[in-house]
Amino acid sequence: MRTYFDLSYVENGSSMQLLDMYLPDQEGFETIVWFHGGGLEHGSRKSNVYAQPFVEKGYGFVSVEYRMYPDAKFPDFLEDGAASVAYILNHIKEYGGNGTVYVGGTSAGAYMTMMLCMDHRYLDAVGVKQEQIKAYISNSAQQFCHFNVLRELGFDSRLERIDEHAPIYFIREGLKIRPLLLFYYSDDMKCRPEETKLIYASFKHVMPEAFVCIEELPGKHCNKARFEDGSLMLVEKVCAFLAQEDVRNENN
């Protein structure tokens, strides 16, 4: 495995606008860009267990840091997420990648993933077309307004709100999205399974042509559940999803 740490994805960026790359030794790999969790206020790109397992499966794995509360405000972290995706699309071939890029994240990072998937303004602003993203992976996202965004707006963070800060807000007939895999957990955070199930049902009701899959994983929120052989359930299920013909199809 080759590693490249502390790469800046914006010019004159801060220490929070860096990414780490974990890459297979061979060239021609596909790449997963991943945003860590932590409520948009803590967490680190350094603390993930997915890099090595995905590299062992033949994928490049990019772990992204982004600006967070209390220093950041909405939509700073979304702009950072978009900028990091643009950087990888523009540079990954220099490291041996084949140019195929997937975008995913855990919890708060999954919320960022969903916002990039659903509100195309952020990727548009950095010159990235949705067709350049092969698929999205959401590991237990808040599909309504994120609780810390609610707090920033002056609301009780326990509330459920659907507005332009919420991924589900953007569902509409005619919206084009890339293949999407949604995860939630059997003993997840309050309202997280319900939000995930609702956005899935909304896709099926309003956008039945969208290629969206949903998976329940056992245990508590983002608990890194494993099969009996020790392999991470999320990694195995993501790889199975990405191998599907409907995802592989160049015209999806």
Q: Kindly report the pTM of this predicted structure.
A: 0.97
Domain of 223, in residue numbers: 2-248
Q: Distance (Å, rounded) from C-alpha 204 to C-alpha 114?
A: 16
**Segment 151-188, tens digit of pLDDT:** 999 999 999 999 999 999 999 999 999 999 999 999 99
Residue 57 has pLDDT above 90, yes or no: yes
- Domain of 159: which CATH number? 3.40.50.1820
Please state whether beta strands 29-35 and 2-8 pair in parallel, antiparallel, or not at all (unpaired): unpaired
Q: What is the mean pLDDT of the chain?
A: 96
Residue 132 has pLDDT above 70, yes or no: yes
Residue partners of 133: CB distance under 8 A and separation at least 6? 85, 101, 102, 103, 117, 123, 178
Supply the pLDDT for residue 250.
Answer: 59
Residue 127 has pLDDT above 80, yes or no: yes
Q: Distance (Å, rounded) from C-alpha 187 to C-alpha 204?
A: 24
Peptide bond into 193 cis (omega under 30): no
Q: How many structural domains compose the chain?
A: 1
Supply the pLDDT for residue 31.
Answer: 98
Count the residues in the chain.
Answer: 252
**Segment 207-237, tens digit of pLDDT:** 999 999 999 999 999 999 999 999 999 999 9
Tracing tokens 């998976």 back to the chain, one arrives at: 215
